Amino acid sequence: MMSAPTKTMNMIEAINSAMDVMLARDSNVVVMGEDVGYFGGVFRATAGLQKKHGKTRVFDTPINECGIIGVAVGMGAYGLRPVPEIQFADYIYPGLDQLVSEAARIRYRSANDFVCPMTVRTPFGGGIFGGQTHSQSPESIMTHICGVKTVIPSNPYDAKGLLIAAIEDNDPVVFLEPKRIYNGPFSGYYDRPVEPWSKHAASAVPEDYYRIELGKAATVREGEAVTVLAYGTMVHVAKTVIEELNIDAEIIDLRTLLPLDIEAIEASVKKTGRCLIIHEATRTSGFGAELAALVQERCFYHLEAPVERVTGFDTPYPHSLEWAYFPGPVRIATALTKILKD
Amino acid sequence: MPETPRRSASNLPPLSLHIPEPRYRPGDTPDFGDIEVPAIDATPRPGEASKPDAMRELCYGLVRVLDFDGQAKGPWDPKLAPELLRSMLRMMLLVRAFDDRMFRAQRQGKTSFYMKCTGEEATSVASTMALDRADMVFPSYRQQGILITREYPLIQMMNQIYSNRGDHLLGRQLPIMYSAPEHGFFSVSGNLATQYPQAVGWAMASASKGDSRIATVWCGEGSSAEGDFHSALTFAAVYNAPVIFNVVNNQWAISSFSGFAGGERTTFAARAVGYGIAGLRVDGNDPLAVYSATQWAADRARTNNGPTLIEHFTYRAEGHSTSDDPSAYRAAQEYAAWPFGDPVLRLREHLVKLGEWDDARHQALQKELDDLVKTTQKQSEKLGVLGHGMHQPFETMFEDVFEEMPWHLKEQCAQMLAEQEAKFGPDWKPE
């Protein structure tokens, strides 16, 4: 697979390439959303796609998330494979009824008469001074809906392969893009210069079609001392801290939250006997709670220490105090020290 | 900063909040004498390609064809052949016969829920007859008339209502939430007006593929207050989508009268004005007017002239569903006092006036349809009724959440089967 011609891409370019490939391969794929057409999206994820594939394949929509998702459900019923963009994950709530009660349920309630092969792309997460309406991480709202798959890539190579698999999937997928790492992996140190993706191995992205199966985690780093479960931006922050502390941690990048790769989690925690869960989203009822419960249910007799969670706080995402909110190196290091103490 | 001069608050009457109230409540004697019934020829029929801003008055008028003596008149007369009119009458009578039997079945404890459409048969039946069979419909929950008109097997409807072994939806949906893709009928949702933007999406897809099929969608005046309704009209207007929006204004949303959806201030057809799309207000108890308006809107959509909003002005003769008692919130005599009569009787009268129908034929037809429904009901009940035994294999609870069942659902399915075994003993086997 990696022998195919590759190009150095950042995450935006990889996501753009995935849509480009799928628009060319499947005439039923349509890309739509606020500002995605001529302008190419506020984050440039759809740049050039309208010019290349035409206005009826890639187009702007009204500022109306209920309409965007509802219309996509109808397009799916017709036989299209819509890829709507919600400009920020924080804006998805007006479309939530269409997602929860319609997209996620149509296959079940109609016993396969109708399906919804839709992929909702949306940038999420903070660390960009976006304030409370441009920084949220609503992934556990998505995983709590039965009938939607939830995917979160952490690098350009995965982003393209996972997005192609999501678009080809015959069920609705919410594809959450960690916008802090669109242009480069994030160490967690906001005061240090951003490293570009070009210095990272995962920026070598095949130009053509390839897919990464949904529901499979990736082991980012093998280790024996502790298992770190993370996704999106937090994979990179975790890696930085672990390297600084010189801890022999195993980092599992979940990549798909639902369906979850429970085998990879179980195997790793049984090996290390310790587990740290990291996410940027608020703590209470966050996806970390689900992970902690699963690890406890399945690996209890292998655990040497209580499962720890490092998360955002249960407050709205603050603007000026963003870095006090963000689960950065200090919070992660404290948890790792605690979990490794005994 | 100097203070902005303003009138002293003490010189103004206090603010007051308006809570709409229907004119008649239980015990009142309703009088609808003030409802304006425009003359049949007072509502012009513009060309299908007319600009919406040139035909705004249609949103405030009333498309009518049948007068109250059974004569078809005026510019909207679709001039249908007697054979088609008889077919329309047959379908409306069949809907009514079906509703009566299924309502009784619910009262007999054979199912959990039912919803009749008495008095509103024309809004579904006549409308569907004016569409092409290949056009897609996105119904609300009271459009059984569409399925019956498209000759969906009655037994399939009953099997769904009973959630029995023959229910192709596997007992997953509340009764009457049918799904029939081969009949161009989208899966009915229990969440209101969600079908509105979906119909627009389907219509946009059809247009973008250069297809010739259009979409139609229904909701009640009550659920036109949902955001989805307004999202849909915005998208349809923006993309000139080939879609017909039907608002069945039957005056009541469970116990809330149309005033709680904004009906005190303007017509529901007039919602079209703000969106710059065509709007028609139609006598929903006049099957020929409904047919004609739908035909006009379908021709308009099919020729790339865009969407139309049709308000069907009608009255919900029965309760919202088997779960409410309308005598608890509205005057008992409202339907009798309704100035637009009964759609079935009006069509019958029209056929009689044409010399194409008589009492003997009507009674024979009614008997034929009652017998058909009864016979079909017996066949359906052989496949089971709700609450008397399990009709679907237990595993079907976990199927179709996703195309392929992920591990966590497989685990939960195994747990559920173990629970059944614990309840029913070691010899128990899943169905």
Alpha carbons B143 and A119: distance in angstroms, whole number: 31
Q: What percent of chain A has pLDDT over 70?
A: 99
Interface contact B202-A110, CB threshold 8 A: no
Nearest to B399 by CA among B384, B418, B412, B385: B412
Residue in chain A closest to B178 (alpha carbons) equals: A110
* A64 close to B (CB below 8 A): yes
Q: Are residues B308 and B341 in the same domain?
A: yes
Catalytic residues of A: 134
**B391 band by pLDDT with thresholds 50, 70 and 90:** confident
A86 falls within a domain? yes
Domain containing A35 — which CATH number? 3.40.50.970
B19 falls within a domain? no
B63 falls within a domain? yes
Q: Are residues B282 and B398 in the same domain?
A: no
Query: B191 exposed, middle or buried (CB, 10 Å; 0-12, 13-18, 19+)?
Result: middle
Question: Quick count: other Cβ atoms within 10 Å of Cβ A248?
Answer: 13
ipTM over 0.95: yes
Give yes or no for residue A1 having a pLDDT over 60: no
| Whether the Cβ atoms of residue B279 and residue B309 lie closer than 8 Å to each other | yes
Give yes or no for residue B1 having a pLDDT over 70: no
Give the closest of A71, A102, A169 to B235, CB-based. Answer: A71
B86 falls within a domain? yes
A213 falls within a domain? no
Residues 6+ apart with CB under 8 A from A141: A96
Question: Quick count: other Cβ atoms within 10 Å of Cβ B317?
Answer: 18
- For residue A311, the one-letter residue type is T
* A158 close to B (CB below 8 A): no
- The beta strand positions in B4-54, using DSSP E, are none
Q: Are residues A199 and A296 in the same domain?
A: no
Residues A234-253 have pLDDT tens digits of 999 999 999 999 999 999 99
| Number of domains, chain B | 2
**What pLDDT shows up at residue B9?**
61
Q: Are residues B235 and B324 in the same domain?
A: yes
Domain containing A230 — which CATH number? 3.40.50.920
Interface contact B402-A94, CB threshold 8 A: no
Q: Are residues B134 and B238 in the same domain?
A: yes
Residues across chain A: 342
Q: Are residues B203 and B319 in the same domain?
A: yes
A126 falls within a domain? yes
- For residue A327, the one-letter residue type is P
Whole-model pTM above 0.90?
A: yes
Residues 6+ apart with CB under 8 A from A57: A23, A29, A30, A31, A49, A50, B208
**What pLDDT shows up at residue A4?**
81
Q: Are residues A19 and A150 in the same domain?
A: yes
Site of tokens 């008095």: B119
Name the phi and psi angles at A258, rounded to 5: -145, 120
Q: Are residues B377 and B402 in the same domain?
A: no
**What pLDDT shows up at residue A138?**
97
Q: Are residues A29 and A58 in the same domain?
A: yes
Site of tokens 């969600």: B194
Residue in chain A closest to B136 (alpha carbons) equals: A78
Give yes or no for residue B194 having a pLDDT over 90: yes
Peptide bond into A259 cis (omega under 30): yes
Q: Are residues A145 and A264 in the same domain?
A: no
- Which of A206, A229, A246 marks a domain boundary? A206
Give yes or no for residue B250 having a pLDDT over 90: yes
B169 falls within a domain? yes
DSSP for residue A260: T
Residues across chain B: 431
A1 falls within a domain? no
What's the Cα-to-Cα distance from B69 to each of A311, B73, B337, B348, rounded to whole Å?
74, 11, 17, 11
Residues B11-55 have pLDDT tens digits of 889 999 999 999 999 999 999 999 999 999 999 999 999 999 999
Q: Are residues B358 and B273 in the same domain?
A: yes
Domain containing B278 — which CATH number? 3.40.50.970
| Number of domains, chain A | 2
Mean pLDDT of B398-420: 97
B20 falls within a domain? no
Longest CA–CA separation in chain A, Å: 61
Q: Are residues A47 and A157 in the same domain?
A: yes
Q: Are residues A200 and A78 in the same domain?
A: yes
B34 falls within a domain? no
Q: Are residues B282 and B419 in the same domain?
A: no
Mean pLDDT of B269-275: 98
Residues A23-64 have pLDDT tens digits of 999 999 999 999 999 999 999 999 999 999 999 999 999 999
Interface contact A110-B187, CB threshold 8 A: yes
**What pLDDT shows up at residue B428?**
83
- Which of A186, A206, A226 marks a domain boundary? A206
Chain B CB contacts of A111 below 8 Å: 168-170, 172, 179, 400
Residues 6+ apart with CB under 8 A from B421: B428
Residues B121-157 have pLDDT tens digits of 999 999 999 999 999 999 999 999 999 999 999 999 9
A212 falls within a domain? no
**What pLDDT shows up at residue B431?**
64
| Whether the Cβ atoms of residue A157 and residue A211 lie closer than 8 Å to each other | no
A122 falls within a domain? yes
**What pLDDT shows up at residue B243?**
99
Q: Are residues A194 and A239 in the same domain?
A: no
**B2 band by pLDDT with thresholds 50, 70 and 90:** low
| Whether the Cβ atoms of residue B187 and residue B177 lie closer than 8 Å to each other | yes
Q: What percent of chain B has pLDDT over 90?
A: 94
Nearest to A296 by CA among A284, A309, A285: A309
Q: Are residues B412 and B274 in the same domain?
A: no
Assigned token pair, B410: 């497989």
Residues A83-97 have pLDDT tens digits of 999 999 999 999 999
What's the Cα-to-Cα distance from B75 to each of B86, B308, B377, rounded to whole Å?
22, 19, 42
B11 falls within a domain? no
B104 falls within a domain? yes
| Whether the Cβ atoms of residue A139 and residue A244 lie closer than 8 Å to each other | no
**What pLDDT shows up at residue B427?**
87
**From the candidates B400, B401, B407, which should be mutated to test the interface with A, based on the most A CB atoms within 10 A?**
B400
**A3 band by pLDDT with thresholds 50, 70 and 90:** low
**What pLDDT shows up at residue A217?**
98
**What pLDDT shows up at residue B389?**
82
Domain residues for B404?
394-424
A84 falls within a domain? yes
A153 falls within a domain? yes
Q: Are residues A193 and A123 in the same domain?
A: yes
Q: Are residues A85 and A193 in the same domain?
A: yes
- Which of A164, A186, A206 marks a domain boundary? A206
Name the phi and psi angles at B64, rounded to 5: -135, 150
- For A265-313, the DSSP string reads HHHHHHHHS-EEEE-SS-STT-HHHHHHHHHHHHHGGG-SS--EEE---
Query: How far A184 CA lies from chain B's nearest CA (Å)?
Result: 33
Domain residues for A286?
218-341
Query: How far B229 CA lies from chain A's nearest CA (Å)?
Result: 9
**B426 band by pLDDT with thresholds 50, 70 and 90:** confident
Number of H helices, E strands in chain B: 12, 7
Mean pLDDT of A273-302: 98
Assigned token pair, A244: 């600084």
Give the closest of B170, B194, B202 to A101, CB-based. Answer: B194
Q: Are residues B399 and B376 in the same domain?
A: no
Chain B CB contacts of A102 below 8 Å: 189, 191, 194, 198
Q: Are residues A250 and A134 in the same domain?
A: no
* B196 close to A (CB below 8 A): yes
Site of tokens 């494979």: A81
Q: Are residues B272 and B406 in the same domain?
A: no
Alpha carbons B278 and B269: distance in angstroms, whole number: 9
- For residue B72, the one-letter residue type is A
From chain A residues 270-309, the ones with a CB under 8 A of any chain B CB are none
